[in-house]
Amino acid sequence: MPAEVKNQKFSMLFHWFDQGGDNMLTHDDFLAMGELFATLSQPGDHENAAAMKKAFEEWWRVLLEHGDANGDGQIDHEEFLALMKATVTAPEHFEKAVLAIADALMRALDTNHDGVLSKDEYVRMYDALGIPPEHSGDAFQRLDLDGNGVLSHDEFRSAITEFYLSSDENAPGNWLIGPIRQG
């Protein structure tokens, strides 16, 4: 079951990242994801917008370098699953490719600069990223580990780390982009 949990989560990511809808990941898909995330920044917040774009570029570089065996500039679903488990989630890449997005995203979403994400700020992220809004309230409740009504930077990072690294099907971080699809 643990491998199945990661496969389900990484499959959700693959389909989310496949902005072209052709069941292949390309550089254009990652540029589009970087742009999508950058739109969450406030007007004039070039630093966080650039940080998210740069992190998606790094993620694509890692995928291409470690998984494009035939040199066609594309990553298919199976390659993506294998690369996520073996390479992207490895410590030497995880910080620069995934947590860099999380940190910039947290700064960009924290519109009142109080160091935490309110439920409204979190829901705004869901809406802007095209994740079905019916999941945002439930996800927020699950990720608010101390129950204080806000997500701290540590809670947000913890959720992202759980999503990518945990094989526990009940880990709160699994709800980061909605419920894990069963079957």
Per the CB < 8 A criterion, the answer to whether 98 and 90 are in contact is: no
Amino acid letter, residue 3: A
pLDDT computed for residue 111 by the predictor: 84
> Which H or E run includes 151?
strand 151-152
pLDDT by 10s per residue, the chain, length 183? 467 888 899 998 999 999 999 999 999 999 999 999 899 888 999 998 999 999 999 999 999 999 888 889 999 999 999 999 888 888 888 888 888 888 888 888 888 889 999 998 888 888 888 887 788 888 899 999 999 999 999 999 999 999 998 888 889 998 888 777 643
Residue 117 pairs in a beta bridge with: 151
pTM score of the predicted model: 0.86
Burial 108-133 (b: 16+ CB within 10 A, else e): bbbeeeeebbbeebbbbbbeeeebee
Mind listing the domains of the chain with CATH numbers?
Answer: 2-175 (1.10.238.10)
pLDDT computed for residue 183 by the predictor: 37
Per the CB < 8 A criterion, the answer to whether 13 and 176 are in contact is: no
DSSP 8-state symbol, 1: -
Q: How many CB atoms lie within 10 A of CB 66?
A: 17
Q: How many CB atoms lie within 10 A of CB 170?
A: 9
